[in-house]
């Protein structure tokens, strides 16, 4: 792969995540989301051409902290990352953070904790959060580390700062691996993409804590593996009504009700979608498809946008979407810097 093409995927992942969050956030609280309303909103952006009118939310605020920490304190410094999360939250608390996670920042800020991981362990009566907050911000990890064991290790550590439930950090690992495999582009078929994820997750979900956390929540063991199998079934069917996608995979704030949904949306939108305009590219379809599912639209669109951007590259991020999104220049710069870091870690 030529280096130009590679940089384009790294920028694509960050920009895809950014536009997914910025556009998805507009629809997060809307009761009815129709194709017409989304398309008309997107057309309206033209009136503000070249103005950053779409604000990012907590998803991107935290993803930015992960990227900045990876770039300045390699390989991953959990104290630095915890400090960045906390400072970012207190400097700008109205980005739409999850209801629980703010207590982690308050505790980290208090200075009363020896370990930066303890506040997260105290969440939800000591069970830890299974929210999708660890997954929504993880995109920098697979852009910084070229090999699977590192990605698993660092996605887990970065997740555990706020999400001590294995359902929370395993969601982050799954999303990170999805971005990793997406970076390979067309060299990997949809089938092998899913097979790789399934085989990685079988090992990850086989550990004792993952098994017992899942059973305690009455999800059954191997919840992510089971959802990956459902994704395969849906893809084999071709057209699946959106209500069935929501019913089976979810669109909620729990990681297990949103990470698999984002992965499915990316894979499904490689092909045209009946009620979306033919001229749209796969990344555009992916973001809009996620939004039309409703629920946690910013987060599902940001996660799917990260995977789609890694796969299709930044050329599929429309200029208008990019330039409308707060902080897009940072995404462009950091994409290049992460690519350099990633490349420096490839075996010579």
State how far the alpha carbon of 340 is from the alpha carbons of 268, 330, 345, in Å: 31, 15, 9
98 vs 119 by CB, closer to ligand R7I: 98
Least gap, CB of 88 to ligand R7I (angstroms): 13
**Do 12 and 318 contact (CB within 8 A), yes or no?**
no
CA-nearest of 193, 340, 320, 204 to 268 is 193
DSSP annotation of 288: H
**Do 146 and 105 contact (CB within 8 A), yes or no?**
no
205 vs 298 by CB, closer to ligand R7I: 298
**Do 309 and 331 contact (CB within 8 A), yes or no?**
no
CA-nearest of 2, 123, 9, 42 to 291 is 42
Least gap, CB of 17 to Mg ion (angstroms): 12
From Mg ion, ligand R7I, none, interface partner of 88 (C-beta below 5 to 8 A by class): none
8 vs 308 by CB, closer to Mg ion: 308
E strand or H helix at 268, and its extent? Answer: helix 259-268
From Mg ion, ligand R7I, none, interface partner of 131 (C-beta below 5 to 8 A by class): ligand R7I
From Mg ion, ligand R7I, none, interface partner of 327 (C-beta below 5 to 8 A by class): none
From ligand R7I, Mg ion, none, interface partner of 99 (C-beta below 5 to 8 A by class): ligand R7I
Least gap, CB of 246 to ligand R7I (angstroms): 15
Tokens 């940001």, located at residue: 302
From Mg ion, ligand R7I, none, interface partner of 132 (C-beta below 5 to 8 A by class): ligand R7I
Least gap, CB of 134 to Mg ion (angstroms): 13
DSSP annotation of 267: H
Instruction: Return d(Cα 291, Cα 15) in angstroms, integer.
Output: 17
Least gap, CB of 217 to ligand R7I (angstroms): 8
Tokens 């990890």, located at residue: 141
96 touching Mg ion, by CB under 5 A? yes
Angle at 331 between CA 44 and CA 282, to 5 degrees: 55
**Do 121 and 133 contact (CB within 8 A), yes or no?**
no
59 vs 314 by CB, closer to ligand R7I: 59
103 vs 229 by CB, closer to Mg ion: 103
**Do 193 and 182 contact (CB within 8 A), yes or no?**
yes
Binding mask 288-307 for Mg ion (x = CB under 5 A): --------x-xx--------
Instruction: Return d(Cα 312, Cα 327) in angstroms, integer.
Output: 21
From ligand R7I, Mg ion, none, interface partner of 130 (C-beta below 5 to 8 A by class): ligand R7I
98 vs 294 by CB, closer to ligand R7I: 98
127 vs 345 by CB, closer to ligand R7I: 127
57 touching Mg ion, by CB under 5 A? yes
Give contact residues for ligand R7I (rule: CB under 6 A). 57-59, 96-101, 124, 127, 129-133, 136, 165, 253-254, 296, 298-299
Q: Residues interacting with Mg ion, by CB under 5 A?
A: 57-59, 96, 296, 298-299
């Amino acid at each position: 792969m030529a280096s130009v093409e590679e940089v384009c995927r790294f920028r694509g992942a960050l920009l895809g995540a950014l536009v997914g969050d910025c556009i998805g956030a507009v629809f997060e609280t809307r009761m009815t989301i129709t194709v017409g309303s989304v398309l008309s909103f997107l057309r309206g952006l033209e009136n503000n051409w070249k103005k950053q009118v779409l604000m990012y939310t907590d998803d991107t605020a935290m993803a930015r902290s992960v990227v900045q920490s990876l770039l300045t304190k390699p390989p991953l410094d959990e104290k630095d990352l915890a400090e960045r999360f906390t400072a970012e939250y207190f400097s700008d608390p109205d980005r739409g953070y999850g209801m629980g996670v703010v207590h982690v920042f308050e505790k980290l800020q208090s200075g009363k904790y020896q370990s930066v991981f303890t506040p997260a362990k105290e969440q939800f009566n000591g069970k830890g959060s299974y929210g999708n907050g660890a997954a929504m911000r993880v995109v920098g990890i697979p852009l910084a580390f070229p090999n699977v064991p590192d990605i698993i290790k660092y996605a887990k550590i970065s997740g555990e700062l706020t999400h001590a439930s294995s359902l929370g950090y395993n969601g982050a690992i799954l999303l990170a691996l999805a971005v990793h495999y997406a970076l390979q582009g067309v060299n990997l078929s949809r089938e092998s993409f899913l097979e790789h994820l399934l085989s990685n997750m079988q090992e990850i979900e086989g550990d004792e804590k993952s098994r017992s956390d899942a059973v305690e929540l009455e999800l059954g063991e191997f919840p992510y593996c089971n959802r990956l199998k459902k994704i395969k079934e849906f893809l084999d069917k071709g057209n699946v009504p959106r209500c069935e996608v929501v019913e089976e995979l979810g669109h909620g704030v729990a990681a297990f009700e949103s990470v698999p949904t984002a992965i499915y949306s990316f894979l499904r939108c490689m092909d045209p979608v009946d009620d979306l305009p033919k001229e749209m590219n796969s990344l555009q379809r992916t973001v809009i498809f996620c939004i039309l599912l409703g629920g946690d639209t910013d987060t599902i669109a940001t996660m799917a946008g990260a995977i789609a951007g890694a796969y299709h590259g930044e050329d599929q991020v429309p200029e208008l979407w990019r330039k409308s999104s707060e902080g897009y220049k940072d995404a462009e710069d950091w994409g290049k810097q992460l690519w350099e870091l990633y490349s420096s870690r490839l075996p010579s």
